[in-house]
Chain A
């Protein structure tokens, strides 16, 4: 159980995240929606502690994560894997090494310096890649891959962390529709099969509706909606996306899902 209590982050005078209180159960798949600058990205980085909170608590199974430092903080980051919009792989390393980087928290310093991985780590990494259909490019350099492939490598890296929670920050915003579907399916799969909690920011409403049973809407750093996709009425959407929601919210325009026929054509 992950609990956020009055979580706040200020940048100067601006409250990027403003007294957010949430409770997310183990194994949930939660979508976070909202306009750019609503604080979705900051919220995820706060949970992984890439950004330090200004106020408030992050409690996981009884421990206040917001107060962790040093080795405990790194242990927490290892348990909450992060997926980024720009993939954030190390370009000049090969795919396999990028995936094995998911275990860096556990690897002692001498082995880190020598870049020496055990056969077990190698086997786990190729398994994770295989699961995402990426085993055949394991020895390629990360920057030789397409965006969709890189994002799947990033998910394999996340799996290597054996995380409790996966935080995905706009995982499909830089991808074409087919790759977006592959990546969202992969996230849904690790949520369902491994019971990993998935918290993902999404900029497309229909993706959130399709993959998440719970949706959190953010506006100006605050949570303005928390509930099932069915509860996202026009009125609620106006709260999340602002007054002009009816103009900007033609879902077909922002859609990342493909019609079934198009998918069949691509597959065949």
Chain B
């Protein structure tokens, strides 16, 4: 409808344009300053990650043997670590890994868990039983153990790390999704959709999912934080990103022995993780409210 003549009748207006659910969601999201602030922070972080080479003052593995574990100074804004590497540069490069792990691992978990939960809840019966028992089995295995097994089978590396972290989070999403689907499934509007002849796919995508998104989105934003920390744990065990490539969680654990003498070494990576998580939670909260049309003033 874009550049055509402005119609005077209602029919020509933009109310039917594109996927109006998302359009309205964005309009409502824009009114939420906290969420917008969070979004800006996330975007800045993403830009930092993309243009790391341009922004970082030093390379992530460049060592300066005269500057070992030196506190912040004009030369090294956030100080240097135990190998004389610039902390700021390492944080900038580290944002690549941490953001990727956080987002992609959660996307894997959200997509797979959401799908499993939706199918289990919608179809019920034997399919439900089968899928949810598999999820229960997975929940019974300690997540850290499971992640270690998966990443040692797949081998170390960034992508395998994301898969491992993602898989461990699937049951949480699946259970949450199934519970929401069950509460929506028996409403009359689903029956109305079936009476109109809507296919199962259409019912799930247009009727069930939009009404189940709220808890899932909140869970997802919280899980991004978990995933970043979880990836750090695996890196710490040598199963994640291999040194010398930096990663926030890895930096945090490497700084642990110097907590008393050089606290800034753990404070800055910690701050980086915290800022990311707070920003994500703001966006998540805002998105949840924006997705609910009842919140519209």
Q: Do A and B come from one complex?
A: no
Give the interface of B toward A (CB within 8 A). Answer: none
Give the interface of A toward B (CB within 8 A). Answer: none
